[in-house]
Structure formats: C-alpha cells, structure tokens
Amino acid sequence: MMMKITVWTLPSCVQCDNTKRQLDKRGIQYEVRELNRNPKAVERFKELDLISAPIIETDNKRWSGFRLDKINSLDVHLRTERMRGISVPLEPMSQIAEEVTDDE
C-alpha cells in the first residue's frame, strides 16, 4: 500500500499550482481535494493552525503553504522507503480527507 498524500487546494491558487507542479515533477502521486467545497475540513485545519492553501496531508505529516523544503523532504522519504521495500509508516495518522466529504 502506497503512502496516501492529499493536497487541499483553492481555485486560482498560485501556491497550490506550484505545489502540484513540484509533486508532479518528482512523480509523487496525490489526491486533490478542494477546500472551498469542504467547510468541515477548513474548520478542522483551522483547529490545527493550518490556515493557508495548499494544505498537504501525508500518512505522518501535515503542512500548509508552498513549502519546497517539505516537498523535497517527502521526495527523499518516499525514495528511501522504496529502496528499503517499505511502503507506509508503521502508524499512519488519519487524514482529515478521510473524516469529511465534499460540500459538508
């Protein structure tokens, strides 16, 4: 099972587009969800002090905004896992993407 990566975006968001472009460039697979269609997710992220788009969730981390350092770190982590034959962390955290549905 591959690590699940979710990129929460907003329409016309330059930082969101840059984040997706960098993930694509590295061949990192991800699911896109829209913050503007999910008020419950927005509230949950605010509780976690994640207030700028995009918001990225992995099995073991969350961050907000365009963060090339975090994308690079994720890329290194995924490459290391593949080399070791490991596909997911031992204790993945549940993602907000799993807690809510769009337009909720």
pLDDT tens-digit series, residues 45-83: 999 999 999 999 998 899 999 999 999 999 998 888 877
Confidence at residue 81, expressed as pLDDT on a 0 to 100 scale: 80
pTM: 0.81
Total structural domains within the chain: 1
Residue ranges making up the domain that contains 42: 6-97
Compute the mean pLDDT over every residue in the chain, rounded to the nearest whole number.
85
DSSP, residue by residue, 70-86:
HHHHHHHHHHHHHHHT-
Domain-located, residue 36: yes
Is 25 a member of any domain? yes
Give per-residue pLDDT as tens, 11-38.
999 999 999 999 999 888 899 999 999 9
| Confidence bin at 99 (pLDDT 50/70/90) | low
CATH assignment of the domain containing 21: 3.40.30.10
CB atoms within 10 A of CB 29: 11
Please report whether residue 102 resides in a domain.
no
Q: Are 44 and 55 in contact (CB under 8 A)?
A: no
* pLDDT reported for residue 90: 40
